[in-house]
Amino acid sequence: APRIVTLGEALVSLRSVGPLTIGGPLSMHAAGAELNVAVALARLGYASSWGGVLGDDELGEFILRSLAAERVDTTHVRRDTRPTAIMFLEARTPEVSRIFYHRKDSAGARLSPHDVDRLLDRDLAWLHLTGITPALSEGARAAVLHAAQTCRRRSVPFSVDVNFRSKLWSEQEAAEVLPWLTEGAEVVIGSPEELALAAPAGKTLEAAAEELLASGVGEVVAKLGAAGARAFTGRHVLDAPAFPVRAVDTVGAGDAFTAGYLSARLDGEDVAARLRRGCLLGAFAVGHLGDWEGLPRRDELDLLDRGPGE
Ligand code: KDG
């Protein structure tokens, strides 16, 4: 099977059931936007690899164990003396949660262009990147830009999920860096606001999409949350509605959407089917606690597809 590689920082997320200030039980999950995509693709039967730097500590071991259980290849993970990053996820309502990072000077931020060379030095069919990595450190920024550049040079298709994180960098910094990351990507995904950061001259979603397509991006996909998603291919603009689900936890839904969209594209499906698969995986993620735990295997894809009540 063709190998799909994702690359970034994995974290341990500690989820509360209410305000962090009152304490109480926390549940422990492997997290990170790229890890979420890697697991989603592995569940759908792809040969999926995740690459990055983990601490040489219990939390790093926990993440490796989680990935192994999900059949995600971690051959090129490097361990470092810095700690594995942690984030607290404070759930206030199913739709509203807050994230508090403990990731400054973490192992994951030590990702370097050299790590990228080791990771990409093999047959790969697709590389998936996010706009989180360039916000982590100078080295991580150099690494992820190097990864995109390597793909352009070797004509390896790659995708970028913008994933703007305001706790890591400013919109201004992001707008300076993101166009260098997204240039020439096969697929760029983000909310309308995020897409505008990757296309600084584009004020509306349509203008941002046009600017990205003009920079050599193949498809621009806007995640619209409960309103579904919209794809711009240069020739078509297509919409898909979200699947109606009762939200349990919306964190991770964006990554699930991305994995769904990419998987349908890798399957050779048309744009309408890609959007539909994206929204479907988003619905699975929203309906379950944890970023990726509730995602479907390939033989479960039609579980929600049958529609409510069946
Ligand atoms: O998309 C979910 C991610 O936000 C979460 O798993 C943590 O990667 C993460 C981040 O940096 O915010």
Question: Among residues 136, 178, 129, which one has the least CA distance to residue 158?
Answer: 129
Residue 79 binned pLDDT confidence (cut-offs 50, 70, 90): very high
pLDDT, average across residues 218-236:
95
**According to the model, what pLDDT value does residue 310 have?**
47
- Kindly tell me if the per-residue pLDDT of 279 is higher than 80: yes
**According to the model, what pLDDT value does residue 123 have?**
82
- 73 belongs to the catalytic site: no
Q: How far apart are CA 233 and CA 64, in angstroms?
A: 37
252 lines ligand 1 (CB under 6 A): yes
- Kindly tell me if the per-residue pLDDT of 291 is higher than 90: no
**According to the model, what pLDDT value does residue 303 have?**
83
The mean of the pLDDT values for the chain is 94
Q: How far is the CA of 133 from the centre of ligand 1 (A)?
A: 11
pLDDT tens digits, one per residue of 177-203? 999 999 999 999 999 999 999 998 878
Predicted model pTM: 0.96
Strand 229-232 and strand 237-240: the pairing is antiparallel
**According to the model, what pLDDT value does residue 248 have?**
81
**Alpha carbon nearest to ligand 1 atom 4, residue:** 33
pLDDT tens digits, one per residue of 235-275? 999 999 999 888 888 888 999 999 999 999 999 999 999 99
Share of the chain above pLDDT 70, in %: 98
pLDDT tens digits, one per residue of 117-173? 999 877 899 999 999 999 999 999 999 999 999 999 999 999 999 999 999 999 999
Q: How far is the CA of 63 from the centre of ligand 1 (A)?
A: 14
Q: How far is the CA of 239 from the centre of ligand 1 (A)?
A: 26
**According to the model, what pLDDT value does residue 281 have?**
95
Q: How far is the CA of 17 from the centre of ligand 1 (A)?
A: 18
33 lines ligand 1 (CB under 6 A): yes
Share of the chain above pLDDT 90, in %: 85
Residue 114 binned pLDDT confidence (cut-offs 50, 70, 90): very high
Counting ligand 1 atoms within 8 A of each CB, the residue from 67, 251, 295 with the most, and so the one to mutate, is 251
**Alpha carbon nearest to ligand 1 atom 7, residue:** 32
**According to the model, what pLDDT value does residue 305 have?**
59
**According to the model, what pLDDT value does residue 47 have?**
95
Q: Which residue among 115, 249, 255, 291 is the active-site one? A: 255
**According to the model, what pLDDT value does residue 308 have?**
56
Counting ligand 1 atoms within 8 A of each CB, the residue from 6, 7, 9, 11 with the most, and so the one to mutate, is 11
Residue where the block lists tokens 């988003």: 282
**According to the model, what pLDDT value does residue 306 have?**
64
**Comparison of pLDDT for 202 and 223, the residue scoring more:** 223
